[in-house]
Structure 1
């Protein structure tokens, strides 16, 4: 119970104050526990941040990114896999406003704590790609192209907390994001066409 309170306190503090407000005393105060418990359970603040990233519903799981059924996802065509993945990635982050706020904070505050969460994200995405996306392994630019799509999605999600429209496209409603997904699907189709012809 105490362990979960500490993990939840990290999410609350990060969303409200960013990494500048993150410290052992602040987390203990937020959780209503003695700071010595942070060291007992996590070995210190970096360990607590890593636990938040892995256990605190910070990032979509492999199961979530696969649309809830890994076996079914694995049987899909590469195009359908990428479409499901992009949809689930967008939806997974849209329902995690705390994660989006933390990603925004990370852009202005790089430190040991931000690197802990970055590592959780990177490991999650890379293991997902290694598990499912073998069709792009022979093309070194394939991963780069997918990364650029992911970066665009992340950027638009971060901006959606501050602006309603970007480049004439709305960032607020489900239909706005469906339109963005349609654009992503066209990019995916083009990318896979170059895989076939290249």
Structure 2
């Protein structure tokens, strides 16, 4: 009975933590990061605000955990990259293409991620800087073991191209969400428009691998 009770307690804790994380997402999505206050988060979650301190050590810990859970590139694990390393014949091209296309859709579908991106460029925060560091570490692993060995002395040029592609895809989604969906005559909110962007991603990536 004690073992069963302990398991139930763990499940209750996980459910409560998820409610807090979901509450952060809801407030971020509807009101923005300036509305992330302990009282409001607790009210939205329907749980005593004291539990934020019990579970996360405070609001900063809660928000930090939420940020980590939402970032796309932080979810690209080293284990995934290690699997690709055993098939180095395309220099990581297919893997990178898959990641870029998935990133484009992931950010488009998540209003919370869009808000986080705006937050990251609008004010400094320790957890946001840490998130950037994690992204760079994962990215460096991709470059070091997949891209650099393939391109050798031209690897720096490829890194510059990838920086433009990743940041451009972020911006297109944010622009469509905040200020209108038409960019260079392409409607980012339509399936046709998004397919054209995806084809452009593949084209640019193929050109990079074929001509560098």
Q: TM-score, length-normalised on structure 2?
A: 0.73
1:90 to 83, 104, 111: 104
User: Which residue does the alignment assign to 1:103?
Assistant: 117
Q: Are residues 1:4 and 2:18 paired?
A: yes
Q: Are residues 1:19 and 2:36 paired?
A: no
C-alpha distance 13-172 of structure 1, shift in aligned 2 (>3 A): same
Superposition CA RMSD, Å: 3.0
Quote the Cα distance in structure 1 between the aligned partners of 2:63 and 2:134: 10
2:188 to 163, 166, 171: 171
User: Which residue does the alignment assign to 1:147?
Assistant: 163
SS of the residue corresponding to residue 30 of structure 2 reads: helix
* Structure whose CA Rg is larger: 2
C-alpha distance 124-42 of structure 1, shift in aligned 2 (>3 A): farther
Deviation at 1:131, TM superposition (A): 6.1
Any unmatched runs of 5+ in structure 1? none
Deviation at 1:123, TM superposition (A): 5.0
Answer yes or no: is the 8 Å Cα contact 1:53–1:59 preserved in 2: no
Quote the Cα distance in structure 2 between the aligned partners of 1:154 and 1:116: 19
Deviation at 1:104, TM superposition (A): 2.6
User: Which residue does the alignment assign to 2:72?
Assistant: 59
SS of the residue corresponding to residue 48 of structure 2 reads: coil
Any unmatched runs of 5+ in structure 2? 1-14
Deviation at 1:99, TM superposition (A): 0.9
Quote the Cα distance in structure 1 between the aligned partners of 2:35 and 2:130: 16
Q: Are residues 1:183 and 2:196 paired?
A: no
Aligned residue pairs, count: 190
Runs of 4+ in 1 over 6 A off after TM superposition: none
**Higher helix residue share:** 2
Q: TM-score, length-normalised on structure 1?
A: 0.78
Q: Deviations over 1:109-156 (max 9, x none)?
A: 433454455455555555555564443575223222201110000000
